[in-house]
Chains A and B, each alone.
Chain A
Amino acid sequence: MSTRQSIDQQTPVSQFTIWVGLLGAAGAWALHLVYSYSLVPAACTAGMGPLMYLGIPVFLLLAGGAGYLSWRVYEASQGPDGEPSDDELEAMKRLRFMALSGVVMSAFFFMVIIAQSVPIIVQDPCEAAGSIRI
């Protein structure tokens, strides 16, 4: 299948893929924050710390998956074989912009999830400033 075909044929799918690729990692980060933050008291009092550990790879996978989707869109936006028309060039530029944006966003929020996972690994959930409250 030529790239030209892939752009045209995937257009309805690509709309969804583009937006998931762009915002999926941010969503994974938001979920990871809410998940981890709300589990802190239970990790201390009910021994649910392993659930927090489990969340790390799950949300990293989600963020990485969004990045992968964006990368696939980027590959599909490399252009058709032969001389593209002006309209095709315009469409490819737009697609490449959205795809690269998704890659950048996914990479960034992947890093944020890693940064927010460090406390889970190195800190004791019962180590409190005052009391176990959220």
Chain B
Amino acid sequence: MSTPTERLTEAWKRPPGFVGWMSATNHRAVGVRYIATSLVFFVLAGILALLMRIQLAQPGLDIVPAEAFNQFFTMHGAVMMFLFAIPFLEGLGIYFVPLMIGARDMAFPRLNAFGYWIYAIGGTILFLAFFSGRGPDAGWFNYPPLSGAGYSPSATDVSMTGLGEFQVGRGIDFYLIAVTMLEVAALVAAVELIVTMFKFRAPGMSLNRMPLFCWSSLVTAFMIIIAMPALMTVSVMLELDRKFGTTFFDHAAGGSALLWQHLFWFFGHPDVYIMLLPAFGAVSTVIAVAAARPMSGYLLVAMATVAIGILSFGLWVHHMYAVGIALMGLSFFAAASMMITIPSGITIFAWIATIWRGTLKINTAFLFCAGTIVVFVLGGITGVMVASPVFDWQVHDTYFVVAHFHYVIIGGVILPIFAGLYHWVPKITGKLLSESLGRWCFWLTFIGANVTFFPMHQLGFDGMPRRVYTYLPEQGLGDLNFIATIGAFMMGTGALVFFVDAARMFWKGKPAGLDPWDGGTLEWAIPSPPPDYNFATIPVVRSRYPLWQQESIEPAVDRVPEGWRSFSDSLNGERTTYQTTLLEAKPEGRAFLPAPTLLPFWMAVAVTVIFAAFLPLVGFDTELILIPVGLILLYICAIIWNWPEEPFARSEVTDRESPGSLPHITTGRFSTVWWGMIWLIVIEAVVLGCLTFAYFYLRISVPSWPADDAVLPGWPPEGIPDPPLMLPAIAGGLMLLSVLPIWWGVRSVSQGNRSMLFYSLLGGIALAIGSLIVSAIHYTDRPFIWTENAYTSIVTTRGGFHVLHVAALILIAVPMALLSWRGYYDEKRFIGVQALSMYWYFVVAAWVVYFVTVYITPNMF
């Protein structure tokens, strides 16, 4: 007879073999993949940096030609941001957040694996393009008009250089598609992290007891959800400009290059903090352990994290000081940029206070934290300087800015990442890294970073612009550039030492044991590496550092939470973890998690097929066929993903509720699916907000349209009639009407009336199809084509956004109607249709915004 632990092991084990490896969905497997893959990209981007430094070591060198240099600095920035820093820190969160909050896995394990595959494929596409000479070359922020079809056409001349073949311009398509895929992956991970931290915290871990790394991961996840859809939206708009000829960013046709800058930096500046905050969380964790005491000012640090996360959305224009915005407008952002130093300073002073009051154990991880304080503060000081518009104008696009942001990123991201690696790798691998090699790694990296980037401040003052591939001897820039190159190689050697150390660790590293650092958070309560089920018994938390402040992480005898003991077993081979309330983390139910599957991989392949249509491969006309092929594949995968096992046994819900256990929550605000849908809707709402902003931004740009060009002023431009109201109102009215049967169907099934749901879904689908038909008549009847000017482009894109969503509703509702007809849904099991109804309401609300924006406002003013 097997023991409970053996049954847990059997229930949670990963399938063997290559297919088993591919189908893994466990959060630790996915987290390690994110970390390992991002480190590969880190090495590649680091090699590019070294090649650029070789080219710049002396004036007039021609080792890296101009075309290659453009691709190198673009890839270096994009890869370090999108393929290394964010995925690494998300991977760290995916691995450690469930361990720190006492959960067995994340809320949506299959979605988690899907996110990884999308990330890996997107990154691979970008590097395949680069290695074939088609890398992006317009800088990581990819400004139009340089990145538009006019200056970077999809098919262009091939430039043969000493380093091989470089094709100017084609890489922009690869960049836009890869970035969009990476954004999808980041958004998936963000939703995962939020729902997991909301619902899977161990009993007793109320928000005021959550580890600071989790706080920072939570805030970061929210920031990703608000920021990243902006980049996705604007990337799609630029790709539409490039592939279909729309004119969002074409000034001659009423577009605005500044629109790109606004939307890009609305993402881009929070993106800096998306990288910084989880790294700060890692530093807060490591410093507390090194000082052997709880973090000083826990509340202030947690709130500083939240404040930074919110305020970072009000700084984006400080990247646009030189574009000609009115000075008062700039000053608002200058003020916010300076104020963000307050919460940043609070965090740093809390670190210093913790070190001051603790009993310090100096190890490699702590050294990296100490380096963080020094380097990040230096970067912060120059940050305050460039926050002033008048100072920024003097150094804009010079090496001073390069020095500033490298100090911020190396101090605020790279050094904390190394701290996190030296702190947590023993938990991941079960073996210790070398302390002596670790100190070599630290000093080489720390000294190398300062030797590389400190001289760049002066290079900027001397007038050396960013992104030049060479300079003249008489400019007097050679000596400092040479010093910077030496520093870069010191940093490179530091990174190399880490990888040598990591290889040595796998070969002959000492066993780490449970808790090599005497840590206080829950991840150190379980073996290294942890078993697949993480915790044999779900812990109960009564403090911020349970291993320091509690005698045991089991509950007191007289205060055992409901069903607690039933989680120490897996009688029917099920994978379960606690579901708890949002604020207090009181047990409210048990979540059943799915088994490993290859579906996430195939889903990622289907999405890749769709995106591949936009890559400059054999010709866009031919590639377009990939869109329907990918959509069909995606649809099939989605149906298989969501189709329940037949026969639809009632035991799925009820028989698992053995006496003494908690209920299996399948519906309502207590379910993880409900929360997941909420965040999906928020993401979509941000996309809608960005499109609405684009519409009004383009409209207020009308006075600056060129007077003698093809497009005539006015909104709609002269020659285009005001938008008609009749047909759009009918289409929208049908959608508004469709809310009723959907609402009624969900209400009926929740009250046990199963047949009514089927007819309600049919009614909703019929009304949605009717709305689509009326929309089609309206769109084919319009007196313009969408590529005519900025007005026609934005109006048609807004309409397309709406039509695609209605079509998606129909496609989702059809299999649900089939399931309903076969009797799957009942009063205990209707979260699927409940989620559909939430999405349905959002789509209808989005239509109202669309109708008011596009059809009402031009008729009003």
The yes or no verdict on A and B being binding partners is yes
CB-CB under 8 A for A112 and B311, given A105-B303, A123-B331? yes
B307 touches A133 (CB 8 A): no
Interface flags for B661-698 (1: CB within 8 Å of A; 0: not) read 00000000000000000000000000000000000000
Beyond A30-B313, A30-B314, A129-B324, is A115–B335 a contact (Cβ under 8 Å)?
Answer: yes
Residue contact A33 to B300, C-beta cutoff 8 Å = no
B332 on the interface (CB 8 Å rule)?
Answer: yes
Q: Mark A90-113, 1 if CB is under 8 A from B, else 0.
A: 110110011011001100110110
Chain A's interface size range is 35 or more
Within 8 A of A (CB), among B299-332: 299-300, 302-303, 306-307, 310-311, 313-314, 321-332
Cross-chain contact B310 with A26 (CB below 8 angstroms): yes
Q: Is the CB of A94 within 8 A of B206?
A: yes
Within 8 A of A (CB), among B137-151: none
Binds A, one of B113-121, B185-193, B337-345: B337-345
Q: Which residues of A contact B332 (CB under 8 A)?
A: 33, 36-37, 116, 119
Task: Output the least CB separation between B260 and chain A (Å).
Answer: 14
**Contacting pair A129 B327 (CB below 8 A):** yes
A125 touches B (CB below 8 Å): yes
Q: Which residues of A contact B314 (CB under 8 A)?
A: 29-30, 33
A133 interface neighbour in B258, B306, B336, Cβ under 8 Å: B258
CB contact between B326 and one of A33, A93, A94, A129 (< 8 Å): that residue: A129
Question: Is the CB–CB distance between B208 and A93 below 8 Å?
Answer: yes
Given the contacts A30-B314, A108-B307, A112-B311, A101 and B299 also touching, CB distance less than 8 Å: yes
CB of B207 closer than 8 Å to a CB of A? yes
Contact assessment for A125 and B328 in the assembled complex, using a CB-CB cutoff below 8 Å: yes
- Specify which chain B residues have a CB less than 8 angstroms from the CB of A104 in the assembled complex: 299-300, 303
**Contacting pair B336 A112 (CB below 8 A):** yes
| B207 contact set on A, CB distance < 8 A | 94, 97-98
- Best-buried of A93, A115, A125, A133 by chain B (most CB within 10 Å): A133
Interface residues on B, range: 35 or more
Q: Of all chain B residues, which has the CB nearest A23?
A: B310
Contacts of A40 in B (CB 8 A): 326, 328-329
Given the interface pairs A104-B300, A133-B258, A133-B704, the reply to whether A115 lies near B336 with Cβ below 8 Å is yes
Chain B nearest CB from A10 CB (Å) reads 15
Docked complex Cα distance between A108 and B306 (Å): 11
Contacts of A120 in B (CB 8 A): 328
Which A-chain residue is minimally distant from B313 (CB atoms)?
Answer: A30
B329 touching A100, Cβ below 8 Å: no
A47-81 vs B: 1/0 string, CB under 8 Å? Answer: 00000000000000000000000000000000000
CA distance A95 to B338 in the complex (A): 31
- In the complex, which of the residues B302, B310, B322, B328 has the most CB atoms of chain A within 10 Å of its own CB atom? B328
CB of A2 closer than 8 Å to a CB of B: no
Query: For residue B430, which residues in chain A have a CB less than 8 angstroms away from its CB?
Result: none
Closest B-chain residue to A108, C-beta based? B307
Contacts of A131 in B (CB 8 A): 324, 326, 704
Report B611-640 CB contacts with A as 1/0, cut-off 8 Å.
000000000000000000000000000000
Kindly list chain B residues whose C-beta atoms are within 8 Å of the C-beta of A44: 326
Q: Answer whether residue B31 sits at the interface, using C-beta atoms and an 8 A cutoff.
A: no
Apart from A91-B584, A108-B342: 7 A-B pairs, beta carbons within 8 A = A26-B311, A30-B310, A101-B302, A101-B306, A109-B307, A119-B335, A134-B329
Q: What residues of chain A have their CB less than 8 Å away from a CB belonging to chain B?
A: 23, 26, 29-30, 33, 36-37, 40-41, 43-44, 90-91, 93-94, 97-98, 100-101, 104-105, 108-109, 111-112, 115-116, 118-120, 123-134
Q: Can you list 24 pairs linking A and B with CB atoms under 8 Å apart?
A: A26-B311, A29-B311, A29-B314, A30-B314, A37-B332, A43-B328, A91-B584, A97-B299, A108-B342, A109-B307, A112-B311, A112-B336, A112-B339, A115-B336, A115-B339, A118-B335, A123-B328, A123-B331, A128-B327, A129-B324, A129-B389, A129-B393, A134-B326, A134-B700
